[in-house]
Amino acid sequence: MSGESEDLSRLRDEIDQVGKSAAKRVDPGAGALLIAVAVFALLVAELLPWAGEARGWHILLGQIPDGVRVGALPRLFAFAAVVAGVLLSALGLLLRQWVVVWFCALGCFAGSVIGVLSIWMQQTTTSHAPGPGPGPGLIVAVLAMLVLLVRWLKLAASRPGL
């Protein structure tokens, strides 16, 4: 009799450990494909012009062509798009942990705000001399960050008990 109760006790402990492990994980479901497409769109946006002749990766690496004015916010957004949009999102899809999902949501929120401000900054200038407006790459990158923000926030808010 005591052998059976020890086996049941061990089985109960194992089931509890599996339950605790499952509670820490998230399943993005079909939303994982949308996240992957948005990350791909961010990578493509890095190849497109963001301001004048300056492409996203030029701005990211600080290799802005002569004569093109790019403010600090587009530079910060280029960094945020790669770190939060690409790297954190890839990590979130790989690890599927609630903590990482929350970091993705917060990073994409900050990146989206910076991205919208970047578009605004490229449209306005501090002098009367017109500067290059936002290019298609910057707009695509901001839209992709907004899609990532919505998906990660939905996943983060879907945790049971919230």
Global model pTM greater than 0.95: no
Please tell me the predicted confidence (pLDDT) of residue 71.
81
Helices assigned H by DSSP within the chain: 2-23, 31-45, 56-61, 72-80, 89-95, 98-123, 136-157
Cβ atoms of residues 128 and 101 within 8 Å: no
Cβ atoms of residues 81 and 145 within 8 Å: yes
Q: What is the mean pLDDT of residues 78-86?
A: 95
CA distances from 90 to 2, 3, 32, 116, 153 (A): 49, 47, 10, 23, 16
- Which pLDDT band, with edges at 50, 70 and 90, does 24 fall under? low
* Residue scoring higher pLDDT (88 or 161): 88
**Residue with token string 């949308």:** 34
* Tens digits of residue pLDDT in 98-136: 899 999 999 999 999 999 999 988 887 655 456 677 889
- What's the token pair of residue 28? 């993005």
Length of the chain: 162
